[in-house]
Amino acid sequence: MSSDISIIIVEGDRERALRIVDALTEAGDYRITVLSDGAGLARRIAELRPDVVLIDVASPSRDVLEELTLASGAMERPVAMFVDRSDPGITRAAIEAGVSAYVVDGMRPERIRPILDAAIARFHLFSRMRTELATTKAALEERKVIDRAKGFVMRAKGLDEVAAYQLIRKAAMDQGKRVVDVAQALVTAAELLK
Amino acid sequence: MTSTLQVGYIPLVDAAPLIIAQVLGFAEEEGLDLQLKRAASWSMLRDMLDFGQVVAAQMLSVVPVARALGLGGGSVPLEAPMVMALNGETLGLSKAVAALVDAPFGDAMAAGRALVALDRPLRFGVPFPFSMQAELLQYWLERAAHGVQVSIHTVPPPLMAQALLADEIDGFCVGEPWGSQAVGVAGAKLLLPGSSIWSQAPEKVLATRSGWCEAEPDLAGRLMRSVWRAGRWLSDPANRLTASEVLAAPHHLGVAAEVIDPALTGRMILGPDGDEAMAAQFMTLHDGAANFPWRSQAAWIGARLAGRFGLDPDAAQIKARAVFRSDLYRQHLAGTGAAMPRASDKAEGILAQAEQVTTTEGSLILLRNRFFDGAVFDPNPAPR
């Protein structure tokens, strides 16, 4: 793979940016620069004049790139924007993955394809990891609430831990609610009664 | 049977008709379940529309016209079967520059003179290269602040305050709540409401891919009627409190309700010192047939773009006019009580005060329609 393609990744999240850099390095030999969102982005991209800009679909800074496509000179303007418009399949995949690419005018689709494939794969991986993390965090929060509710029932009714949990679980089943919701109601009530 | 429609919007106060249509049940009355998809940028929303992730979207009025003229990204033709909002922009200055400018709020001529007196280059932020904000700002600068050296930059609205604080820009023209936000966060000062430059500027439209309304006439009609009824509900002052609470929700605009109130009432907080002023016709969502997509509005946008990008003005106006589909509006809002003007064109800028006009079935009060410099845009110029 030739090394004459320069890529800018616009990504404020350091870990995510590093993962995309890793993926691109595996896919080919590119000159890669990472920039974060925010003030001065347009100026820095204009100075670096990359061949490809990779950016999160949901980044508010995408509109800044829109301006660059108008502002730069006719020969060098990065107009192709959203991947290659003639290939709606890959464009749709890119949107769904969460990556969009702004490409210099005249760059051939087959050269951008591996860059985009690598970026899309990493965006997918990252969003899956983020979902997993969020789920784990929520589970831990739920456990904390249930523990506090158990403690309250144990003190109020003089029960041991297992019996307290069984009582909460039974209440949840009787009311057709989740254990954590009953526990939350108990904790809220306990705070009020303090 | 309820039909589900994917509809896109940007978290701005003028997304209200879409959000209210869903939340307050105007969509449900038409048998629609609107799946509201929030986008973080105009490019993203445009792509979602282009590639069919949404069938309709709140859109900057200039975008579909620019598209018809071959400007900007994207290749799928777009059109506007109705206008969602007139005006609602604020134009303001950074704390440092505002300290040097003395002009009463809302006086576009005086504000222009004050900028000339500064005698220094100025940098302005606008949300998107193709936006009413960019058009109004440039129209005003050309005619009120002639000779001032100005550069215009795209700054995502949520980052406007940050750009002011980082001294990347000296001023801005942006939709609410981001102007009020810049006042609160960056100590900016509001100089003009967009309505003081043009009191009836089409700011946002409901946009679809061209041909969608014809392919799905039933769904299009139901969507348009629910958005129109939501706009009517929003125009009732008694509903404003409810409206700001609904819009403020984290999954919609996600800002405090107090920051949304000014746009809905027109009572603006001008600067960090807390001075307030009423902005006339600050944002119009319903009154005066505000939702009617006048061909002449599109022609004005086409003429402005032609001027800026060196296109043939007559050809640009013809292409632009076809984008605002007053025919679809007439077709789908018939029977709702929406006022139907007799013509689909008007001379923009000609009404110095509100005026009652005859419609197809009765009458309608058109609101004051003025450019600050008194210019009149005749959508049907003599052939050259």
Q: Is B156 in Cβ contact with A60 (below 8 Å)?
A: yes
B10, B123, B154: best mutation site toward chain A, by most A Cβ within 10 Å?
B154
Inter-chain touch A39–B74, beta carbons under 8 Å: no
pLDDT range class, residue A7, cuts 50, 70, 90: confident
**Which amino acid would we find at residue B16?**
A
pLDDT at B278: 93
- All residues of chain A having their beta carbon less than 8 Å from the beta carbon of residue B162 are 38-39
Instruction: Please say if the pLDDT value at position A79 is more than 60.
Output: no
Q: How far apart are the first and last CA of chain B?
A: 54
Is any Cβ of chain B less than 8 angstroms from the Cβ of A65?
yes
Is the Cβ of A88 closer than 8 Å to some Cβ of chain B?
yes
| Cβ-Cβ contacts under 8 Å for A87 (sequence gap 6 or more) | A109
- Residue B303 is predicted with a pLDDT of 96
Instruction: Provide the residue count of chain A.
Output: 194
Q: Backbone dihedral region of B80: left (phi > 0), alpha (psi from -120 to 50 degrees) or beta?
A: beta
The pLDDT value given to residue B44: 87
A66 vs B129, B159, B162: nearest CB:
B129
Shortest distance between the Cα of B14 and any Cα of chain A, in A, equals 18
Tokens of B254: 């996600």
DSSP chain A: --S--EEEEE-S-HHHHHHHHHHHHHH---EEEEE-SSTTHHHHHHHH--SEEEEETT-TTHHHHHHHHHHS-TTT-----SS-TT-HHHHHHHHHHTEEEEE-TT--HHHHHHHHHHHHHHHHHHHHHHHHHHHHHHHHHHHHHHHHHHHHHHHHHT--HHHHHHHHHHHHHHHT--HHHHHHHHHHHHHHH-
pLDDT for the residue numbered B151: 93
Q: Does position A72 have pLDDT exceeding 70, yes or no?
A: no
pLDDT grade, residue A82 (50/70/90)? low
Alpha helix stretches (DSSP H) within chain B: 16-23, 26-29, 42-50, 62-68, 95-98, 108-118, 132-144, 160-165, 178-186, 212-215, 217-234, 240-248, 257-265, 295-309, 313-321, 326-333
How many angstroms separate the Cα of B108 from the Cα of each of B115, B352, B372?
11, 16, 7
Q: A33, A10 in Cβ contact below 8 A?
A: no
Does the pLDDT of residue A75 top 50, yes or no? Answer: no
Distance to chain A for B84, nearest Cα, Å: 22
Q: Do A3 and A29 meet the contact criterion of CB atoms below 8 Å apart?
A: yes
* Chain B residues inside the 8 Å CB shell of A91: 47, 51
- Nearest CB among B43, B71, B163 relative to A62 is that of B43
Contact A52, A94 (CB under 8 A): no
Residue of chain A nearest B42, judged by CA positions: A63
The span from the CA of B39 to the CA of B48, in Å, is 9
**Is residue A102 predicted with pLDDT exceeding 80?**
no
Distance in Å, alpha carbon of B229 to nearest chain A alpha carbon: 31
What is the amino acid identity at position B210?
S
pLDDT at site B360: 84
User: Nearest CA to A96 among A83, A109, A106?
Assistant: A83
pLDDT at B72: 80
Put simply, the answer to whether A57 touches B158 (Cβ < 8 Å) is no
Is A66 in Cβ contact with B53 (below 8 Å)?
no
Confidence label for A73 from pLDDT (cuts 50, 70 and 90): very low
Whether chain A has a CB inside 8 Å of the CB on B151: the answer is no
d(CA B208, CA B46): 10
DSSP state of B93: E
Check: CB of residue B207 under 8 Å from CB of residue B60. Answer: no
CA nearest to A88 within chain B: B51
Interface test with A, best of B41, B75, B130 (most A CBs within 10 A): B41
Higher pLDDT among residues B282 and A74, named by residue = B282
pLDDT of residue A3: 57
* Non-local CB neighbours of B93 within 8 Å, separated by 6+ positions: B101, B170, B171, B188, B189, B191
Residue A76 has pLDDT above 50, yes or no: no
The alpha-carbon gap from A77 to the nearest alpha carbon of chain B, in Å, equals 12
A8 band by pLDDT with thresholds 50, 70 and 90 = confident
Q: Show pLDDT as tens, one digit a residue, over chain B (384 residues).
A: 799 999 999 999 999 999 999 999 999 999 999 999 999 889 889 988 988 889 999 999 999 999 999 888 677 899 999 999 999 999 999 999 999 998 999 999 999 999 999 999 999 999 999 999 999 999 999 999 988 999 999 998 888 999 999 999 999 999 999 999 999 999 999 999 999 999 999 999 999 999 999 999 999 999 999 999 999 999 999 999 999 999 999 999 998 888 899 999 999 999 998 899 999 999 999 999 999 999 999 999 999 999 999 999 999 999 999 999 999 999 999 989 999 999 999 999 999 999 899 888 888 999 999 999 999 999 876 555
Cβ distance B47 to A57 less than 8 Å, yes or no, reads: yes
| Residue A155 CA neighbour count, 13 Å, CB half | 9
Here the tokens at position B365 are 């009060």
Look at residue A121 and tell me whether its pLDDT is greater than 70: yes
Tell me, what's the pLDDT at B369? Answer: 96
Nearest in space to B73 (alpha carbons), one of A132, A144, A114, A84: A84
| Per-residue model confidence as pLDDT tens digits over A24-40 | 888 888 888 898 877 67
> Which residue of chain A comes nearest to B73, CA vs CA?
A81
Q: What is the ipTM of this complex?
A: 0.77
